[in-house]
Copies of this chain bind each other. A is one copy, B any other.
């Protein structure tokens, strides 16, 4: 298995468990080299991933400092909801994965191979506490991940299910963001007034399987939990 993934996940777990707290310095790159028997290239690659995911910031001459993760919906652009927000999150299905049609709700350009394939979709509402925050509907080529309609998600996460059961990793995403007035349906589900401004996010995920793209349309009530994102070079 890839070494930098192992190092990255070890450190990530230590941060999540509080062994490294906000403001703490992670072991230096040279220390990581010794403890994991790797070279600096590999150590730096692991730290770069933590940087991209918003766990640390690097300070030239000092080290890698654990930083506060946004108390918002987190690095939305990277992975799914459950990885981003932390605890106190609940999800309910409006529609479990089932064979469906490619909907014209999908804003992203659909890969030509997808449009000829069988479409599977599912739809969920996400809560933080008792507060409905987001409605998300997802579409993908069902031929690529057979049996998904009968599978229970691993820890409630679609992306974890992809990773654990099908060995498919999300490798990137592109998105478009729009502020819109909530439709009647969306408003009802988010328990807000029809016409309230909501954030509409159209996402297309790329995965390690080039044949599998995941299309998502999200409708978010950002009044209490804004969407956060960060970018470091």
Contacts and interface: CB of A to CB of B under 8 A. Distances in A.
Given A78-B231, A233-B171, A222 B70 contact: no
A173 interface: yes
Nearest to A177: B227
Given A171-B232, A179-B197, A229-B229, 6 more contacts: A77-B230, A174-B228, A174-B229, A174-B230, A178-B226, A197-B198
A228 B176 contact: yes
Interface of A: 41, 49, 52, 54, 59, 70, 72, 77-78, 170-181, 197-200, 202, 206, 210, 220, 222-223, 226-233
Contacts of A220: 179
Given A77-B230, A78-B231, A199 B178 contact: yes
A41 to B, nearest CB: 7
Contact of A77 (B173, B176, B200, B229): B229
Nearest to A220: B179
Contacts of A226: 176-178, 202
A72 B230 CA distance: 19
A116 to B, nearest CB: 21
Contacts of A41: 41
Contacts of A172: 230-233
A154 to B, nearest CB: 20
A199 B171 contact: no
Contacts of A231: 77-78, 172-174
Contacts of A199: 177-179, 199
A158 to B, nearest CB: 17
21 contacts: A72-B176, A77-B230, A172-B230, A172-B231, A172-B233, A173-B230, A174-B228, A174-B230, A175-B228, A177-B177, A177-B226, A178-B226, A178-B227, A179-B179, A179-B197, A179-B198, A179-B220, A181-B197, A202-B226, A206-B232, A229-B229
B181 A222 contact: no
Contacts of A59: 210
Nearest to A77: B231
A109 to B, nearest CB: 9
